[in-house]
Amino acid sequence: MYSRIAYLIVGIMFIFMSGIEIMSSMMVKEMPPSQSYIFFALAIMGFCLSYLFPQFKQNDERTKLIRQKGMYISYFAILIYCLILSFLIESGFLDLSAMQVLDIIVSLMIITVFLSWVVLSKIY
């Protein structure tokens, strides 16, 4: 059912949607809507899954190790993201709503997990 091409098409579709939202917000000199960050993260997820599909299709010990170590690394990265965001918000450098903060954290989580899997697949 699933294939590299399907994941690649999903990635291209989400990068296109994110690009449209970012470009339109730049034209009116506004900040991009926070859901454009999630679309960008989903595009990265699509591209990463397109790259990882042949390796993860086998579902052997190596892929389980990559997934396990990737989630372990991502856990600590997410803790660091939350610490940095809370410091920036508390010190007044960023003025974000709760929804914007959640969208940023979710986007960073998606990007971190899937990029760590790509890096770990190169290592193992």
What is the three-class DSSP state of 94? coil
- Nearest-angstrom CA–CA distance, 108 and 84: 12
Only one residue has tokens 């389980």, namely 64
Q: Are 11 and 50 in contact (CB under 8 A)?
A: yes
> Global pTM?
0.89
Angle between helices 61-91 and 35-56 (to 10 degrees): 160
The identity of residue 17, as a single letter, is M
pLDDT tens digits, one per residue of 73-124: 999 999 999 999 999 999 999 888 889 999 999 999 999 999 999 999 999 8
pLDDT tens digits, one per residue of 29-43: 888 888 899 999 999
Q: What's the pLDDT at 1?
A: 56
Domain ranges of the chain: 4-123
The identity of residue 68, as a single letter, is Q
Average pLDDT, the chain: 92
Read out DSSP for 9-67?
HHHHHHHHHHHHHHHHHHHTT-PPPTHHHHHHHHHHHHHHHHHHHHHHTT--HHHHHHH
